Amino acid sequence: MSTSAIRPVRFTKCLLLALAAVATLVVVFLALIALTDGAGSGLAAWLATLGVGAVLAAWRGRGRTWPARLAPFVPVLVAAALTVAICIPTVPTARRYPPALPFVATQHWSLTTGSRVAVYHYPPANSGARHSVPFVYLGGGPVRGISELDHRFLQLLARQGYDVYAYEQAGGGRSDLLPMSQYTISRSVRDLAAFVDRLDKGKVDVLGFSSGGVVLTRGLADPGVAARLHRAIIAEPGPMDGPTAHITGHKGRESARGLAPAMSGPRSTNVPRYAVAFGLMRLGFLTPETGLIGQAEGDNAFTAADLGSDTASAYCARDAHRIPAEDNAQNFSFSPAASLRVQQTVKDSPSIASQLRRSRIPAMLMIAECSSQVRQWATAVLANDPAIQRTQYMPGVGHHMWNGLDDNNGRAAAVITAFLQDEPAPLPNSPTRDEIPTFLRDRK
Protein backbone atom coordinates (compact mmCIF):
# COMPACT_ATOMS: atom_id res chain seq x y z
CA MET A 1 0.00 0.00 0.00
CA SER A 2 1.36 3.42 -0.93
CA THR A 3 2.23 6.05 1.65
CA SER A 4 -0.54 8.31 0.34
CA ALA A 5 -3.08 5.57 0.98
CA ILE A 6 -1.73 4.66 4.41
CA ARG A 7 -2.06 8.19 5.80
CA PRO A 8 -5.89 8.45 5.51
CA VAL A 9 -6.23 5.01 7.07
CA ARG A 10 -4.03 5.99 10.00
CA PHE A 11 -5.88 9.27 10.41
CA THR A 12 -9.26 7.52 10.39
CA LYS A 13 -8.00 4.98 12.93
CA CYS A 14 -6.69 7.72 15.23
CA LEU A 15 -9.93 9.69 14.88
CA LEU A 16 -12.05 6.67 15.75
CA LEU A 17 -9.86 5.89 18.77
CA ALA A 18 -10.15 9.52 19.90
CA LEU A 19 -13.94 9.50 19.53
CA ALA A 20 -14.12 6.22 21.44
CA ALA A 21 -12.01 7.76 24.21
CA VAL A 22 -14.31 10.81 24.38
CA ALA A 23 -17.42 8.60 24.48
CA THR A 24 -15.89 6.41 27.20
CA LEU A 25 -15.07 9.42 29.35
CA VAL A 26 -18.60 10.80 28.92
CA VAL A 27 -20.05 7.44 30.00
CA VAL A 28 -17.67 7.38 32.99
CA PHE A 29 -18.81 10.91 33.89
CA LEU A 30 -22.50 9.94 33.76
CA ALA A 31 -21.82 6.82 35.82
CA LEU A 32 -20.02 8.92 38.43
CA ILE A 33 -22.90 11.42 38.41
CA ALA A 34 -25.19 8.53 39.37
CA LEU A 35 -22.76 7.07 41.93
CA THR A 36 -22.19 10.44 43.64
CA ASP A 37 -25.88 11.49 43.24
CA GLY A 38 -24.67 14.60 41.43
CA ALA A 39 -22.63 15.88 44.37
CA GLY A 40 -21.47 19.48 44.13
CA SER A 41 -23.59 20.27 41.08
CA GLY A 42 -21.81 17.44 39.26
CA LEU A 43 -18.35 18.89 39.80
CA ALA A 44 -17.25 15.91 41.92
CA ALA A 45 -17.95 13.57 39.01
CA TRP A 46 -16.44 16.00 36.49
CA LEU A 47 -13.17 16.42 38.40
CA ALA A 48 -12.90 12.68 38.98
CA THR A 49 -13.46 11.98 35.27
CA LEU A 50 -10.92 14.64 34.32
CA GLY A 51 -8.41 13.15 36.73
CA VAL A 52 -8.90 9.59 35.44
CA GLY A 53 -8.64 10.80 31.86
CA ALA A 54 -5.48 12.77 32.56
CA VAL A 55 -3.80 9.78 34.23
CA LEU A 56 -4.66 7.49 31.31
CA ALA A 57 -3.53 10.12 28.78
CA ALA A 58 -0.19 10.50 30.58
CA TRP A 59 0.22 6.70 30.60
CA ARG A 60 -0.51 6.48 26.86
CA GLY A 61 1.95 9.28 26.12
CA ARG A 62 4.87 7.74 27.97
CA GLY A 63 8.00 7.26 25.88
CA ARG A 64 6.84 9.67 23.14
CA THR A 65 8.42 12.95 22.17
CA TRP A 66 6.90 16.04 23.78
CA PRO A 67 4.52 17.09 20.99
CA ALA A 68 3.31 13.50 20.64
CA ARG A 69 2.81 13.17 24.40
CA LEU A 70 0.13 15.84 24.27
CA ALA A 71 -2.03 14.05 21.69
CA PRO A 72 -3.72 11.65 24.19
CA PHE A 73 -4.87 14.67 26.21
CA VAL A 74 -7.00 16.00 23.32
CA PRO A 75 -9.92 13.54 23.90
CA VAL A 76 -9.73 14.34 27.62
CA LEU A 77 -10.08 18.06 26.94
CA VAL A 78 -12.92 17.46 24.46
CA ALA A 79 -14.79 15.28 26.96
CA ALA A 80 -14.20 17.86 29.70
CA ALA A 81 -15.60 20.61 27.49
CA LEU A 82 -18.66 18.53 26.59
CA THR A 83 -19.50 17.54 30.16
CA VAL A 84 -18.73 20.76 32.03
CA ALA A 85 -21.99 22.23 30.67
CA ILE A 86 -23.86 19.70 32.82
CA CYS A 87 -22.31 21.29 35.91
CA ILE A 88 -23.29 24.90 35.10
CA PRO A 89 -26.81 26.23 35.91
CA THR A 90 -28.52 28.18 33.13
CA VAL A 91 -31.52 29.35 35.20
CA PRO A 92 -31.65 31.00 38.64
CA THR A 93 -30.92 28.62 41.50
CA ALA A 94 -33.26 30.50 43.88
CA ARG A 95 -36.98 29.87 43.40
CA ARG A 96 -38.58 32.17 40.86
CA TYR A 97 -42.30 32.11 41.64
CA PRO A 98 -44.98 32.76 38.99
CA PRO A 99 -46.31 36.34 38.93
CA ALA A 100 -49.71 37.10 40.42
CA LEU A 101 -52.77 36.16 38.38
CA PRO A 102 -54.74 39.13 37.06
CA PHE A 103 -58.18 37.68 37.85
CA VAL A 104 -57.81 36.38 41.43
CA ALA A 105 -55.84 37.44 44.47
CA THR A 106 -53.17 35.09 45.76
CA GLN A 107 -53.22 34.64 49.52
CA HIS A 108 -50.56 32.79 51.47
CA TRP A 109 -51.63 30.74 54.47
CA SER A 110 -49.25 29.24 57.00
CA LEU A 111 -50.57 25.85 58.10
CA THR A 112 -49.93 24.13 61.41
CA THR A 113 -47.95 21.46 59.53
CA GLY A 114 -45.32 24.05 58.63
CA SER A 115 -46.41 24.36 55.00
CA ARG A 116 -47.05 27.81 53.56
CA VAL A 117 -49.45 27.46 50.66
CA ALA A 118 -50.86 29.73 47.99
CA VAL A 119 -54.65 30.04 48.31
CA TYR A 120 -57.26 31.24 45.81
CA HIS A 121 -60.83 32.16 46.75
CA TYR A 122 -63.78 32.50 44.38
CA PRO A 123 -66.79 33.75 46.40
CA PRO A 124 -70.26 32.64 45.30
CA ALA A 125 -71.97 34.74 42.68
CA ASN A 126 -74.36 37.42 43.94
CA SER A 127 -77.35 36.09 42.04
CA GLY A 128 -79.06 32.75 42.59
CA ALA A 129 -78.85 30.25 45.39
CA ARG A 130 -75.75 30.14 47.56
CA HIS A 131 -74.46 26.94 49.09
CA SER A 132 -73.45 27.07 52.72
CA VAL A 133 -70.75 24.38 52.67
CA PRO A 134 -67.34 25.62 51.41
CA PHE A 135 -65.95 23.87 48.35
CA VAL A 136 -62.22 22.96 48.27
CA TYR A 137 -60.31 21.92 45.16
CA LEU A 138 -57.25 19.66 45.30
CA GLY A 139 -55.42 19.71 41.97
CA GLY A 140 -53.13 17.15 40.41
CA GLY A 141 -49.42 17.12 40.00
CA PRO A 142 -48.62 15.93 42.64
CA VAL A 143 -46.55 19.11 43.09
CA ARG A 144 -47.82 21.47 40.42
CA GLY A 145 -49.42 24.85 40.11
CA ILE A 146 -53.14 25.17 39.37
CA SER A 147 -53.55 25.79 35.64
CA GLU A 148 -55.60 28.61 34.16
CA LEU A 149 -57.87 25.93 32.68
CA ASP A 150 -58.66 24.72 36.20
CA HIS A 151 -59.12 28.27 37.46
CA ARG A 152 -61.77 28.84 34.77
CA PHE A 153 -63.62 25.72 35.91
CA LEU A 154 -63.52 26.88 39.53
CA GLN A 155 -64.94 30.23 38.45
CA LEU A 156 -67.83 28.37 36.81
CA LEU A 157 -68.62 26.62 40.10
CA ALA A 158 -68.51 29.93 41.94
CA ARG A 159 -71.00 31.40 39.46
CA GLN A 160 -73.32 28.55 40.42
CA GLY A 161 -73.31 29.68 44.04
CA TYR A 162 -70.39 27.73 45.55
CA ASP A 163 -67.87 29.30 47.89
CA VAL A 164 -64.76 27.94 46.18
CA TYR A 165 -61.30 27.64 47.68
CA ALA A 166 -58.24 26.11 46.07
CA TYR A 167 -54.68 25.83 47.26
CA GLU A 168 -51.49 24.76 45.57
CA GLN A 169 -49.89 21.97 47.52
CA ALA A 170 -46.60 22.73 49.25
CA GLY A 171 -43.85 23.28 46.69
CA GLY A 172 -46.27 23.78 43.80
CA GLY A 173 -47.10 27.03 42.02
CA ARG A 174 -46.79 29.98 44.38
CA SER A 175 -46.60 27.85 47.54
CA ASP A 176 -43.33 27.80 49.46
CA LEU A 177 -40.91 24.94 48.96
CA LEU A 178 -40.32 22.25 51.56
CA PRO A 179 -37.10 20.38 52.30
CA MET A 180 -37.11 17.51 49.81
CA SER A 181 -37.39 14.87 52.53
CA GLN A 182 -40.72 16.35 53.68
CA TYR A 183 -42.56 15.74 50.40
CA THR A 184 -44.66 12.71 51.27
CA ILE A 185 -48.22 11.63 50.61
CA SER A 186 -48.79 11.65 54.38
CA ARG A 187 -47.71 15.30 54.55
CA SER A 188 -50.14 16.15 51.75
CA VAL A 189 -52.99 14.54 53.71
CA ARG A 190 -52.02 16.39 56.89
CA ASP A 191 -51.91 19.63 54.90
CA LEU A 192 -55.50 19.03 53.75
CA ALA A 193 -56.66 18.70 57.35
CA ALA A 194 -54.66 21.74 58.39
CA PHE A 195 -56.10 23.76 55.50
CA VAL A 196 -59.68 22.98 56.54
CA ASP A 197 -58.80 23.98 60.11
CA ARG A 198 -57.26 27.24 58.89
CA LEU A 199 -60.36 27.92 56.78
CA ASP A 200 -62.38 27.58 60.00
CA LYS A 201 -65.80 27.25 58.33
CA GLY A 202 -66.75 23.79 59.52
CA LYS A 203 -66.91 20.76 57.30
CA VAL A 204 -66.09 21.18 53.61
CA ASP A 205 -66.89 19.52 50.30
CA VAL A 206 -63.70 18.48 48.50
CA LEU A 207 -63.00 17.74 44.84
CA GLY A 208 -59.74 15.84 44.45
CA PHE A 209 -58.47 15.48 40.89
CA SER A 210 -55.79 12.97 39.80
CA SER A 211 -53.09 12.98 42.52
CA GLY A 212 -55.41 15.29 44.47
CA GLY A 213 -57.87 12.39 44.37
CA VAL A 214 -55.20 10.24 46.02
CA VAL A 215 -54.82 12.78 48.83
CA LEU A 216 -58.60 12.86 49.27
CA THR A 217 -58.93 9.06 49.23
CA ARG A 218 -56.26 8.70 51.88
CA GLY A 219 -57.97 11.45 53.87
CA LEU A 220 -61.20 9.44 53.80
CA ALA A 221 -59.27 6.49 55.21
CA ASP A 222 -58.02 8.63 58.12
CA PRO A 223 -60.81 9.23 60.68
CA GLY A 224 -59.18 12.43 61.92
CA VAL A 225 -59.13 13.94 58.44
CA ALA A 226 -62.49 12.50 57.39
CA ALA A 227 -64.17 14.22 60.35
CA ARG A 228 -63.49 17.54 58.59
CA LEU A 229 -65.20 16.50 55.34
CA HIS A 230 -68.85 16.88 54.35
CA ARG A 231 -68.81 15.26 50.90
CA ALA A 232 -65.97 13.97 48.72
CA ILE A 233 -65.59 13.84 44.93
CA ILE A 234 -62.74 11.66 43.70
CA ALA A 235 -62.01 12.44 40.04
CA GLU A 236 -59.65 10.29 37.97
CA PRO A 237 -57.50 9.20 40.94
CA GLY A 238 -53.98 7.86 40.82
CA PRO A 239 -53.02 4.79 42.89
CA MET A 240 -54.15 5.13 46.49
CA ASP A 241 -51.37 3.01 48.08
CA GLY A 242 -48.40 0.76 47.35
CA PRO A 243 -50.33 -2.40 46.40
CA THR A 244 -52.54 -0.40 44.02
CA ALA A 245 -49.53 1.37 42.50
CA HIS A 246 -48.04 -1.97 41.51
CA ILE A 247 -51.18 -3.12 39.68
CA THR A 248 -50.80 -3.38 35.92
CA GLY A 249 -53.86 -3.18 33.76
CA HIS A 250 -55.53 -1.42 30.88
CA LYS A 251 -56.41 2.25 30.63
CA GLY A 252 -59.42 3.97 29.09
CA ARG A 253 -60.32 4.47 25.45
CA GLU A 254 -57.59 5.77 23.14
CA SER A 255 -56.07 9.08 24.23
CA ALA A 256 -54.34 11.69 22.07
CA ARG A 257 -50.88 10.49 23.16
CA GLY A 258 -48.82 9.98 20.02
CA LEU A 259 -51.47 11.63 17.85
CA ALA A 260 -51.35 15.28 18.89
CA PRO A 261 -48.78 17.67 17.40
CA ALA A 262 -45.70 18.15 19.55
CA MET A 263 -46.03 20.90 22.12
CA SER A 264 -44.34 24.13 21.11
CA GLY A 265 -42.16 26.29 23.31
CA PRO A 266 -38.78 26.03 25.02
CA ARG A 267 -37.79 22.75 26.68
CA SER A 268 -35.39 22.41 29.56
CA THR A 269 -34.54 18.98 28.20
CA ASN A 270 -32.83 20.68 25.24
CA VAL A 271 -30.23 21.91 27.74
CA PRO A 272 -27.67 19.19 28.60
CA ARG A 273 -27.72 19.91 32.34
CA TYR A 274 -31.46 19.43 32.73
CA ALA A 275 -31.75 16.66 30.14
CA VAL A 276 -29.27 14.64 32.21
CA ALA A 277 -30.75 15.60 35.59
CA PHE A 278 -34.42 14.96 34.76
CA GLY A 279 -33.61 11.91 32.65
CA LEU A 280 -31.53 10.20 35.34
CA MET A 281 -34.10 11.09 38.00
CA ARG A 282 -36.90 9.58 35.94
CA LEU A 283 -34.85 6.43 35.39
CA GLY A 284 -34.10 6.18 39.11
CA PHE A 285 -30.34 6.76 38.79
CA LEU A 286 -30.58 10.05 40.71
CA THR A 287 -32.65 10.65 43.84
CA PRO A 288 -35.01 13.63 44.13
CA GLU A 289 -32.51 14.99 46.68
CA THR A 290 -29.74 14.93 44.07
CA GLY A 291 -26.88 17.39 44.40
CA LEU A 292 -26.79 17.89 40.62
CA ILE A 293 -29.61 20.44 40.58
CA GLY A 294 -31.44 21.95 43.52
CA GLN A 295 -35.20 21.80 43.87
CA ALA A 296 -35.64 25.50 43.08
CA GLU A 297 -33.43 25.32 40.00
CA GLY A 298 -35.31 22.30 38.69
CA ASP A 299 -38.65 24.05 39.21
CA ASN A 300 -37.40 27.16 37.42
CA ALA A 301 -36.07 25.14 34.49
CA PHE A 302 -39.03 22.83 33.86
CA THR A 303 -41.47 24.04 31.19
CA ALA A 304 -44.87 22.99 29.90
CA ALA A 305 -43.26 21.62 26.73
CA ASP A 306 -41.22 19.24 28.90
CA LEU A 307 -44.46 17.41 29.74
CA GLY A 308 -44.67 16.44 26.07
CA SER A 309 -47.09 13.60 25.43
CA ASP A 310 -48.24 13.59 29.08
CA THR A 311 -50.47 16.56 28.27
CA ALA A 312 -51.84 14.89 25.13
CA SER A 313 -52.66 11.76 27.14
CA ALA A 314 -55.23 13.78 29.12
CA TYR A 315 -57.43 14.18 26.02
CA CYS A 316 -59.39 11.81 23.79
CA ALA A 317 -57.89 10.78 20.47
CA ARG A 318 -60.66 12.67 18.67
CA ASP A 319 -59.40 15.89 20.27
CA ALA A 320 -55.75 15.37 19.28
CA HIS A 321 -55.68 18.38 16.95
CA ARG A 322 -57.59 20.78 19.14
CA ILE A 323 -56.03 20.36 22.58
CA PRO A 324 -56.47 23.69 24.37
CA ALA A 325 -53.68 25.69 25.94
CA GLU A 326 -54.00 24.56 29.55
CA ASP A 327 -51.83 27.33 30.90
CA ASN A 328 -49.56 30.20 29.96
CA ALA A 329 -45.79 30.14 30.34
CA GLN A 330 -45.86 32.63 33.21
CA ASN A 331 -48.35 30.67 35.33
CA PHE A 332 -47.06 27.15 34.58
CA SER A 333 -45.21 25.53 37.46
CA PHE A 334 -44.21 21.93 38.02
CA SER A 335 -41.75 20.42 40.48
CA PRO A 336 -40.41 17.21 38.92
CA ALA A 337 -38.21 16.16 41.87
CA ALA A 338 -40.84 16.78 44.55
CA SER A 339 -43.49 15.04 42.45
CA LEU A 340 -41.30 11.96 42.05
CA ARG A 341 -40.67 11.99 45.80
CA VAL A 342 -44.40 12.06 46.62
CA GLN A 343 -45.15 9.35 44.07
CA GLN A 344 -42.45 7.14 45.55
CA THR A 345 -43.93 7.48 49.04
CA VAL A 346 -47.27 6.28 47.63
CA LYS A 347 -45.55 3.27 46.05
CA ASP A 348 -43.80 2.51 49.35
CA SER A 349 -46.93 2.83 51.49
CA PRO A 350 -48.88 -0.16 52.87
CA SER A 351 -52.45 -0.91 51.87
CA ILE A 352 -55.13 1.49 53.13
CA ALA A 353 -58.01 -0.76 52.00
CA SER A 354 -59.03 -1.85 55.49
CA GLN A 355 -59.12 1.74 56.75
CA LEU A 356 -61.01 2.95 53.67
CA ARG A 357 -63.69 0.29 54.24
CA ARG A 358 -64.63 2.12 57.44
CA SER A 359 -65.28 5.41 55.64
CA ARG A 360 -68.74 6.91 56.09
CA ILE A 361 -68.31 10.23 54.24
CA PRO A 362 -70.66 10.41 51.21
CA ALA A 363 -68.47 10.19 48.13
CA MET A 364 -68.67 10.15 44.34
CA LEU A 365 -66.19 8.74 41.83
CA MET A 366 -65.66 10.32 38.39
CA ILE A 367 -64.04 8.26 35.61
CA ALA A 368 -63.17 9.57 32.13
CA GLU A 369 -63.87 7.57 28.98
CA CYS A 370 -60.40 8.24 27.53
CA SER A 371 -58.59 8.08 30.84
CA SER A 372 -54.80 7.75 30.83
CA GLN A 373 -55.00 6.22 34.31
CA VAL A 374 -54.91 2.48 34.96
CA ARG A 375 -58.55 1.52 35.47
CA GLN A 376 -57.81 -0.48 38.62
CA TRP A 377 -56.65 2.70 40.34
CA ALA A 378 -60.24 3.98 40.26
CA THR A 379 -61.96 0.64 40.76
CA ALA A 380 -59.82 -0.08 43.84
CA VAL A 381 -61.32 3.02 45.45
CA LEU A 382 -64.81 2.00 44.39
CA ALA A 383 -64.35 -1.56 45.69
CA ASN A 384 -63.09 -0.51 49.10
CA ASP A 385 -65.04 2.65 49.96
CA PRO A 386 -68.59 1.65 50.97
CA ALA A 387 -69.63 5.31 51.18
CA ILE A 388 -69.28 5.91 47.42
CA GLN A 389 -72.89 6.65 46.50
CA ARG A 390 -72.49 7.05 42.76
CA THR A 391 -69.98 6.64 39.96
CA GLN A 392 -70.12 8.89 36.93
CA TYR A 393 -68.47 7.56 33.77
CA MET A 394 -67.83 10.70 31.72
CA PRO A 395 -68.16 10.06 27.97
CA GLY A 396 -66.18 12.04 25.42
CA VAL A 397 -63.47 13.32 27.73
CA GLY A 398 -59.99 12.32 28.77
CA HIS A 399 -58.19 12.55 32.09
CA HIS A 400 -58.60 16.35 32.20
CA MET A 401 -62.40 16.23 32.20
CA TRP A 402 -63.10 19.97 32.48
CA ASN A 403 -61.03 21.12 29.52
CA GLY A 404 -62.97 24.00 28.00
CA LEU A 405 -63.84 22.05 24.85
CA ASP A 406 -67.47 21.91 23.70
CA ASP A 407 -69.73 21.66 26.79
CA ASN A 408 -67.28 19.57 28.85
CA ASN A 409 -66.97 22.11 31.66
CA GLY A 410 -70.74 22.36 31.98
CA ARG A 411 -71.19 18.58 31.97
CA ALA A 412 -68.55 18.10 34.67
CA ALA A 413 -70.08 20.89 36.75
CA ALA A 414 -73.55 19.32 36.39
CA VAL A 415 -72.29 15.98 37.70
CA ILE A 416 -70.52 17.64 40.64
CA THR A 417 -73.37 19.96 41.65
CA ALA A 418 -75.99 17.19 41.41
CA PHE A 419 -74.01 15.10 43.87
CA LEU A 420 -73.33 17.97 46.25
CA GLN A 421 -77.02 18.89 46.32
CA ASP A 422 -78.10 15.23 46.58
CA GLU A 423 -80.06 15.55 43.34
CA PRO A 424 -80.52 12.83 40.69
CA ALA A 425 -77.34 12.12 38.76
CA PRO A 426 -77.17 13.41 35.16
CA LEU A 427 -75.54 10.14 34.08
CA PRO A 428 -76.17 6.50 34.97
CA ASN A 429 -74.56 5.24 38.16
CA SER A 430 -71.94 3.15 36.40
CA PRO A 431 -69.95 1.16 37.10
CA THR A 432 -71.39 0.08 40.41
CA ARG A 433 -69.37 -1.97 42.85
CA ASP A 434 -70.89 -5.19 41.51
CA GLU A 435 -70.15 -4.16 37.92
CA ILE A 436 -66.39 -3.76 38.41
CA PRO A 437 -65.45 -7.18 36.94
CA THR A 438 -67.58 -6.51 33.84
CA PHE A 439 -66.23 -2.97 33.53
CA LEU A 440 -62.65 -4.23 33.57
CA ARG A 441 -63.39 -7.18 31.31
CA ASP A 442 -64.99 -4.96 28.69
CA ARG A 443 -61.94 -2.64 28.80
CA LYS A 444 -64.16 0.43 28.89
Q: Is the peptide bond between 431 and the residue preceding it cis, with omega within 30 degrees of 0?
A: yes
Q: Give residue 1's pLDDT.
A: 47
- Of the candidate CATH numbers 1.10.260.40, 3.50.50.60, 3.40.50.1820, 3.40.50.10330, the domain formed by 107-262+310-441 belongs to 3.40.50.1820
Q: Which one, of 16, 215, 25, lies nearest residue 115 by Cα? A: 215
Q: Give residue 319's pLDDT.
A: 96
* Residue-wise pLDDT tens digits, 228-258: 999 999 999 999 999 999 998 889 999 999 9
Q: Which portions of the chain are predicted below pLDDT 70? A: 1-15, 61, 63, 65-66, 68-69, 127
Cβ atoms of 180 and 295 closer than 8 Å: yes
Parallel/antiparallel/unpaired status of strands 164-168 and 204-209:
unpaired
* Residue-wise pLDDT tens digits, 267-289: 998 999 999 999 999 999 999 99
Q: Report the first-to-last Cα separation within the chain, whole angstroms.
A: 70
DSSP 91-106: S-SS--PPPPPSSSPP
What pTM does this model have?
0.93
Q: Give residue 59's pLDDT.
A: 77
CA 376 to chain centre: 20
Domain range summary for the chain, segments of one domain joined by +: 3-87, 107-262+310-441
Q: Give residue 262's pLDDT.
A: 86
Parallel/antiparallel/unpaired status of strands 363-370 and 388-398:
parallel
